[in-house]
Amino acid sequence: MVDGAAHRADHVPVYRGYNYVAPDTVGPDALYEVEREDQILLLRSLFMTSFLVDDFLADENFYGVATAVVTSASSKTSTALAHLLKVRAQGNVIGLTSGRNREFVKGLGCYDDVVLYDELDAMPDLVWSEGAVMIDMAGNGEVIGGIRERLRENLKYSCTAGATHWEAEPRARELPGPRPEFFFAPGRIAKRTQDWGAGGLQERIGASWKEFTAFSDVWMKIQRHVGPEALERVCREVLGGALDPSDGHIISLWA
């Protein structure tokens, strides 16, 4: 079902779709489980992006390399991508993060190496000798510039899929290495829908989603809040970078 309201007409169709969740409806939602509603609220749209990035890299044979570098490694989108890459077992997954979140990222178990933003020279030797692809979830120009200045021709592909460091300066226009691309998830959805059909895409996402939500049970803690004051407080904590990355916040404006 598609939202046809005039004020949303310019949005990409995938962002205007609704799915039936009842099992006896036509085309039930492959990702829906009543006991997983918290994960659906918190992780579903993020996981979709991660699934599509992983699928795209595999479709491109990882640009001939085996290592993936993922920024903002503690974010839930990056965690989902690292989990998918680990399951695929293409090669090493390197997570870049802050000192504050290092232990959390290490504890996830889906990153082979964890490197701090201010210790980029400590990236594993295989990055320098064999090359890597980079998936940027942070949008931090200083970090991206630092990686590209170091890897140069050893960076075989670079895309931006998020901007968790919303306050950071954008990257410089001219940097060594391949031209960064913006990862446009709706375009990838359109391609795979054409390749596999809508049902085939949902089946593949559904199977991976079930594995990821089981993995999220291990590390994510659901925090519930009620009222506008709680909403403002949590939003300020998000903007200030003060939240525990293992927390997932469900907020209701009504008691």
Q: What is the pLDDT of residues 49-62, one digit of tens each?
A: 999 999 999 999 99
Report the alpha-carbon distance of residue 153 to residue 131 in Å, rounded: 8
pLDDT digits (tens, 9 = 90+) for 166-194: 666 665 567 777 888 899 998 999 999 99
pLDDT digits (tens, 9 = 90+) for 80-121: 999 999 999 989 999 999 999 999 999 999 999 999 999 999
* Short-list 15, 137, 153, 4, CA closest to 77: 137
Report the alpha-carbon distance of residue 146 to residue 117 in Å, rounded: 9
Which domains are present in the chain?
1-30 (no CATH), 44-186 (3.40.50.720), 220-255 (no CATH)
Report the alpha-carbon distance of residue 79 to residue 251 in Å, rounded: 22
pLDDT digits (tens, 9 = 90+) for 113-133: 999 999 999 988 888 889 999
* Short-list 156, 152, 153, 161, CA closest to 181: 161
| Token duo for residue 109 | 């178990």
